[in-house]
Chains A and B, each alone.
Chain A
């Protein structure tokens, strides 16, 4: 039974993650992400981490994903070229991904840690409950808890700084669009318009990182 649950969860999580990057429509990608997150929550449950699993479903699969769906709907579907435009990237990226996978697999399979093959530790009754986690946060991880709260506060301030509205009415119509011609070397072209535009679709996932 446990094995079945594990494989369902594992296949769901991996398949969902693959679908996020494979699907061309961002809206579907978000839905695939939901599948991934819910499967992860299932895996957490198998590890007796009920609270984390619940938080995963409520916060991520629930609240954050709703935001994502809104953003995807607001921005609309951006048609990305199916082939990577940077020549080296096209072949190197999959190659390195495979290399990474192989290396990590070797590391996990090759380890001498015996616990990996066992049923896992036996845990006591209250393990993974909110009370236990609360205790941990206020005892061992007090500093982390406080630092994380500061982090959230500052993230909010940062959002205000970046999105703050302007109050004064317009007084001048002189406009100089475009940015300063910076003196950087031609080859670098860090401000090539393509570079900026290529950033756009990458933005939402990173926001998730911040929101987490």
Chain B
């Protein structure tokens, strides 16, 4: 089979799983829906490996393979095909997406066991994976937009999965609205590309772009900025990030899959995929890189202060995507995607461990109420520490190699790009600190009541409550309730976490400076026309960067140890001392309030003004006129419909008289 056949199969299996679960939910017994969903994604992963093997079989210059299933619309200059592009980049992405998805499906099989919406959950989840793979494999902008919109919908559906939870439905709406802003940006970008280059097809467009545009021409910058709107909305970069922390209302595996490992990295993929435009518009690329830098620093500081376990990891996600955005924007494509991969591993792992902790705490997410869980759940403690080490960039882990490669590339590129290196290391310090803040606060210290109960073999049996509002959950709608499963006690969850822990540690061996450069070599096939791709720093420079990164990580971890373990009162003292800063951070730099004040309230005020003045006077006037016209025409149309045959005959003759008059005028 050819690589593209494997590509189509990669799409087909999740779609089939979705259809089976969506239509068979009434008849599927027990965990069947979960196993079907997992098997579908697993098969997709196997086919992704097949695609990888077939692509590797080709020479480096011939690894961009397209396949058209059918032509959707073809007339008068418009040519829209349903085609996929299988090239190293998309193969790389489908491997990550389907691989991580398989593990998270496996985890979900047990995690949502007692949920009433079990089959609905897996139908959504399979639909999400299908959409994400479609987004990644799309061979043209139209299909990309379809996948883009589908993942937005899947994300909305899964955030609001517990649909009677008020906070969940609101968070879903917020995510949807911001995603739609991104969709609009992407659609406009595609429109401009089509207008300028006359095609939607990736390869056609990318080959035509360098001849058509001058560097930094206004149109290219506009296209790139519009693409960035789409990318940043999906990847939760400043200033469109506010939806992601709220998206944690969804079930924890959803947070792991969609809001950490896969969907939110779609923006990075988009920038990488459309690199010819960004290389033609260096200004736009630089804007993108600076926004990425700002985001990574901003989100890291927020993660220092927030106390909700899942939201800390969410801010960490925003911050880590900032690194990737910096990477792909400055030309460190291979490093950026390498980091995307290792991030997918350790962030999914962190979320899964968090899920395990949250279920042990019967739904509590506040780390202030946790502590000393390491004896109660040793396995979770170990794997979560592994995740935190990888996140912090502890020497030898996956995160260590990938993050520092981006920063080394920035330093090597010269010019003002050293800013990214410096900013990145500051971010890395904060990252190491908050990563171990989680570990030390949750697993160390005095065991809380739930922890000691768990040590004695009891599950915590509190009424489940909404962590945001403190209201008691309505378990009838499917919120899992008391019987949440604890990761270490259920084989599928254990297996998924162990696999990811392994990958988080050893994922880095794919690319160790001086030893191997698997990813650099492999992804090169997708970036053949790039002028920046091969500007790799020297091996020595790489190792210097790694040394600095490793030191920074160790300092951060040591600081966290000192603050939270060695001298337990330090953190409270610091908060007292820097109350203003702490409040500022706890409120996440007041972004939500800012939007509330700058966007929401003025909109409401404008709306009220519009309602009071414009609406009453102007619009009502116009609307009344329009409605009256429509109504008037309606009255005429229906009035003429008198039911009298001779009246109909009259109109027929009248119509002919008018037509005849026209023809007589024409004839003279």
Q: Which residues of A contact B (CB under 8 A)?
A: 86, 88-89, 92-93, 96-97, 99-100, 103-104, 106-107, 110, 185, 187-192, 194-195, 198-199, 202
Contacts and interface: CB of A to CB of B under 8 A. Distances in A.
A189 B642 contact: yes
Which 5 interchain pairs have the tightest Cβ spacing? A190-B643, A195-B643, A103-B660, A99-B657, A188-B641
A188 B650 contact: no
Contacts of B577: none
Contact of A100 (B635, B642, B653): B653
B660 A185 contact: no
Contacts of A104: 660
A103 B661 contact: yes
B70 interface: no
A170 B19 CA distance: 56
13 contacts: A86-B642, A86-B644, A88-B650, A89-B644, A89-B646, A96-B650, A104-B660, A110-B664, A187-B641, A188-B638, A188-B643, A194-B644, A198-B645
Contacts of A86: 642, 644, 646-647
B661 to A, nearest CB: 7
A25 B444 CA distance: 111
B638 A187 contact: yes
B644 A96 contact: no
B586 to A, nearest CB: 61
A191 B643 contact: yes
Interface residues of B, number: 20
B650 A93 contact: yes
Contacts of B667: 110
B457 interface: no
A187 B645 contact: no
A203 to B, nearest CB: 10
B635 to A, nearest CB: 8
Contact of A190 (B641, B657, B661): B641
B650 A89 contact: yes
A199 B647 contact: no
B59 interface: no
A56 B372 CA distance: 112
A107 B656 contact: no
Contact of B654 (A92, A106, A187): A92
A185 B634 CA distance: 12
B514 interface: no
Given A92-B654, A96-B653, A103 B643 contact: no
B660 A198 contact: no
B29 interface: no
A184 B28 CA distance: 46
Nearest to B638: A187
Nearest to B657: A99
B202 to A, nearest CB: 53
Contacts of A189: 642-643
B639 interface: yes
A86 B644 CA distance: 9
Contacts of B660: 100, 103-104, 107
B638 A198 contact: no
A96 B643 contact: no
B647 A89 contact: yes
A106 B644 contact: no
A100 B657 contact: yes
Nearest to A196: B643
A78 B86 CA distance: 82
Nearest to B645: A199
Interface in B187-209: none
Contacts of B668: 110
A177 B644 CA distance: 23
A100 B645 CA distance: 19
A100 B638 contact: no
Contacts of B650: 88-89, 92-93, 96
Contacts of A96: 650, 653-654, 657
Interface in B378-410: none
Nearest to B635: A187
A189 to B, nearest CB: 5
A34 B644 CA distance: 29
A192 B644 CA distance: 9
Nearest to B654: A96
A100 B661 CA distance: 9
A89 B660 CA distance: 20
Nearest to B658: A99
A201 to B, nearest CB: 10
Contacts of A187: 635, 638-639, 641
Most B CB atoms within 10 A — which of A96, A185, A191, A198? A96
A106 B650 CA distance: 21
A89 B654 CA distance: 11
A192 B638 CA distance: 15
Contact of B638 (A97, A185, A194): A185
Contacts of B647: 86, 88-89
B633 to A, nearest CB: 13
A29 to B, nearest CB: 17
A198 B644 contact: yes
Interface string B614-643: 000000000000000000000100110111
Nearest to A202: B645
Contacts of B643: 188-192, 195
B668 to A, nearest CB: 8
A155 to B, nearest CB: 21
Given A103-B660, A190-B643, 18 more contacts: A86-B644, A86-B647, A89-B644, A89-B646, A89-B650, A92-B650, A93-B646, A96-B650, A103-B661, A107-B660, A107-B664, A185-B638, A188-B638, A189-B642, A190-B641, A192-B643, A195-B645, A202-B645
A191 B645 CA distance: 11
Nearest to A111: B667
B330 to A, nearest CB: 67
Contacts of A92: 650, 654
B602 to A, nearest CB: 45
Contacts of B646: 86, 89, 93, 198, 202
A179 to B, nearest CB: 14
Contacts of A190: 641, 643
Contacts of B654: 92, 96
A28 to B, nearest CB: 21
Nearest to B641: A188
Nearest to B653: A96
A48 B646 CA distance: 37
B666 to A, nearest CB: 12
A153 B657 CA distance: 36
A189 B657 CA distance: 27
B663 to A, nearest CB: 8
Contacts of B635: 187
Nearest to A189: B643
A89 B650 CA distance: 7
A96 to B, nearest CB: 5
A189 B644 CA distance: 9
Contacts of B644: 86, 89, 194-195, 198
A156 to B, nearest CB: 25
Nearest to B640: A88
A18 B320 CA distance: 93
Contacts of A93: 646, 650
A188 B654 CA distance: 20
A104 B659 CA distance: 12
A188 B290 CA distance: 67
A99 B647 CA distance: 17
A103 B664 CA distance: 8
